[in-house]
Structure formats: C-alpha cells, structure tokens
Amino acid sequence: EGSDAYDVSKLLGQTGRVTLDPGFVNTASCRSAITYIDGDAGILRYRGYPIEQLAEGSTFLETAYLLIYGELPTEAELDAFDARIRRHTLLHEDLRSFFAGFPRDAHPMPVLSSAVSALSTFYQDSLDPFDAEQVELSTVRLLAKLPTIAAYAHRKSMGQPLLYPDNNLSLVENFLRMSFGFPAEPYELDPVKVNALDQLLVLHADHEQNCSTSTVRMVGSSHANLFASVSAGINALFGPLHGGANQAVLTMLESIKADGGDVASFVRKVKDKDTGVRLMGFGHRVYKNYDPRAAIIKRTADQVLERLGQRDELLDIALELEQQALSDDYFFERKLYPNVDFYTGLIYRALGFPPKMFTVLFALGRLPGWIAQWREMIADPDLKIARPRQLYVGPTERDYVPAGRR
C-alpha cells in the first residue's frame, strides 16, 4: 500500500484488502478437530490424545481409526475395521501389470503416486465424495492397498517378484512380507521390526496442515475424489524439504562418514550460508522446540539398532551431530531442533529398506491423516474451492508486437 511502483488495488484486479503470506506462515486455511500442535511447547496430539501415549500403547490401525472416525474404537469395532481392510489388500490384476511399465531405476514415490492415481480408473464405484458409502469404500481400499502398492514399488526397484498379500497377516506384517519375502518360501516375521515399523507409522499418521495434507485438501476442495487427492499429496511429500528429508538425512550422514566422520567441519559448513548446505532433519516450520516425535524415535532407534545387532557408525555420527548443533548459537538462535526425520532413516535402514523407500514409508504412515483431513473437509458445510489470491507484480498493460518487429 502506498507504494510508487504498484497500485495494489488495480494489480489485484479488485478493490479491498488481501493478505500476502508466502508459504502460509501465518494463515489458517481451515478449522480442524483432528490434530493439535503447540510448536513452542513441543506438543502433538491426535484427537486430544498425546502422541507419546499413542506411540507407547496404540497400533497403527487403531490410530488410523481414531484419526478418521474421531474416537478410539472398541475391540469389536477395531476387529471389524481390521477384517474389512484385510479383504481389500489385493490389487486388480491389470493394476499389477503397471509396475512392469516403469523403468527399473524409477524412484518408488512417483510409482506410488501413479498407482494411487490409477485407482480412480479401477474402482469407479467409489469416487463420489458426497456419497457416504463410497467414501467409506475408497477409505478402506486406500488403507488396504497402499501397503501392497508400496511393497510392489520396492520389489520393482529391486527387480524382484511381486508377492500377493497374505490376509492372515496384519497390515504391517503383510507389508514386510510383501517387501522382503519370496514366493514359496516362509517369511519369518521379526517382532522387533514389526513393532518398530508400526510405531513409526503411528508417529507419522497426521501433522495438521503440512504441505502434503494441504495439497490433499486443496485438490479435494474441487470435489476431486479421494484417490486423486491422495495421489497429489504423495507428490507433495516427494520434495526434499518435506517427506524427502528422511532420505536426505541418511545421504548426509553417509557423506560425513565418507569424509572421515568430521562432524565439527560439517557443522561449520552448515553455518556458512554461502555453501547452501542445510542440516537435514533439523528445523521445522511449526516446532520451535524439540519435535516430540524425534524424542520418541531417538529412543526407538537406539533400542532397535541394539536389538537387531546393527548399531552402526551412522548413529554415532547422528548423535554427535545433534549434540554439537544443540550446543551451538547458530541453531539456538534460530530455534532449530531435530525433527521427526532425523533418526527415522536409521531405523528404516535397519529394517532393510533402501534410502529410496524411506519417503514411501512416510507416505504409508501419513495416509490416515490425509484421509481424515479430506473427509473432514468434504463434510464441512462451509466447504469452498481453495483459491488463493496473488499480488501481481508483472508488467502493466503493453501492446503486442509482431515477431518480425521485436
């Protein structure tokens, strides 16, 4: 306002006020009753329940139910939900053949988003966002099929066979077997791995209006179906500043190790802004304190690596890096603390997943949150298509000049 360069009201193509808030740092896009975060106090709750209690006592399936339906299920409700999901784990045979079409070295995230997008073509009886039964069906289908799709994306990248789901197994057990088992060979489930993965999925299950969830809502606000909206969310999660950070953390730890494990010199590099190097797994738009999920995961990483006999140098580098950063003014002044991704990669690696799969595992965990947020939005009587305004800063009106006279 009052600028010599722009008449704001004209550039907006309207009169009246508009808020310019790049990155939506201070703009709420919706009302939500799902997840509560107090970033200064390091508090995270799903439907009012502290994340620490859910990580300790709940399971991924139960937490998914809580997020989507608003209350913890009774035993009978949880059993019925579980049974329903187990009935939908298979992919249509033609969808299975999609996996053959991608290049062998394809990153599994675009494979995942493409396959989820394709669900709209195979399951056309569950696309109406305003039909409660169809929404229920697409919810169950997505929850049941995403682990199968994710495991297939992994097998594809390894050049290994795709296994059919075994519905005697739980969602997490089934996912591990499809990811690592071989046809006609018994797959031995390791309870340490099953519990560690289950807990990681609980910790990722929702995080209010983050980039991918806002994307799911943005796409869904045009009344796009749940599969289309979630597919868009998966693509948003692919970026290195969001879900891609867990893979980036491991790459960073490996490069520090390759350079002789000199943590202090890496921290110096991060503090020199000209290098453009960031301490991956540190900092968060909302948490200006320790990310409560990082505190839980740090303990889990320690226990899991110990129990699997895989305690490695990368964990020691991570611990040293965290300690140096937390006692450094650069990080203190900017309130940069470890986020959820700082330690997850180490656990995923210990479970046997290659770094390319880490973000896929994040997507598996975040799915109940995306579904819950999409359903909350669709049920909102005040639902409006998301359509931000802009501040136009391009040329004012000018006349077209034919190519020969430019």
Would you tell me which residues interact with ligand ACO (CB under 6 A)?
A: 241-242, 245, 270, 278-285, 334, 336, 339-341
- List Cα–Cα distances, 236 to 84, 158, 229, in angstroms: 29, 24, 11
- List Cα–Cα distances, 165 to 29, 157, 177, 178, 252, in angstroms: 39, 18, 8, 7, 35
Tell me the Cα Rg of the chain: 23
45: three-class secondary structure by DSSP: strand
Q: How far is the CB of 41 from ligand ACO (least distance, A)?
A: 18
107 catalytic per annotation? no
Q: How far is the CB of 271 from ligand ACO (least distance, A)?
A: 8
Strands (E), 286-374: none
Distance, in Å, from the CA atom of 263 to the CA atom of 322, rounded to the nearest integer, reads 10
Assigned token pair, 390: 């802009």
Identity of the residue, 165 or 365, whose beta carbon is nearer to ligand ACO in the bound complex: 365
Identity of the residue, 334 or 389, whose beta carbon is nearer to ligand ACO in the bound complex: 334
Burial letters for 170-205: b for 16+ Cβ neighbours within 10 Å, e otherwise? bbbbbbbbbbbbeeeeeeebeeebbebbbbbbbbbb
Distance, in Å, from the CA atom of 154 to the CA atom of 44, rounded to the nearest integer, reads 31
Identity of the residue, 10 or 285, whose beta carbon is nearer to ligand ACO in the bound complex: 285
Q: How far is the CB of 342 from ligand ACO (least distance, A)?
A: 7
- DSSP H/E element including 49: strand 49-50
Q: How far is the CB of 20 from ligand ACO (least distance, A)?
A: 16
Identity of the residue, 63 or 139, whose beta carbon is nearer to ligand ACO in the bound complex: 63
Assigned token pair, 83: 């049974």
284 catalytic per annotation? yes
Cβ 280 vs Cβ 345: under 8 Å:
no
Identity of the residue, 70 or 240, whose beta carbon is nearer to ligand ACO in the bound complex: 240
Cβ 164 vs Cβ 109: under 8 Å:
no
Measured at the CA of 379, the angle between CA 373 and CA 382, to 5 degrees, comes to 105
In the complex, which residue's CB is closest to ligand ACO?
283
Identity of the residue, 91 or 279, whose beta carbon is nearer to ligand ACO in the bound complex: 279
Query: Of residues 107, 204, 284, 291, which has the active-site annotation?
Result: 284
CA 39 to chain centre: 18
User: Would you report the helix, strand and coil content of the chain in percent, each value rounded to 5?
Assistant: 60, 5, 40
Q: How far is the CB of 370 from ligand ACO (least distance, A)?
A: 14
Q: How far is the CB of 285 from ligand ACO (least distance, A)?
A: 4
Identity of the residue, 280 or 297, whose beta carbon is nearer to ligand ACO in the bound complex: 280
Query: Of residues 329, 341, 380, 382, which has the active-site annotation?
Result: 341
Strand order in the sheet with 49-50: 35-38, 43-46, 49-50
Distance, in Å, from the CA atom of 218 to the CA atom of 212, rounded to the nearest integer, reads 10
Q: How far is the CB of 333 from ligand ACO (least distance, A)?
A: 8
Catalytic residues, by residue number, are: 284, 341
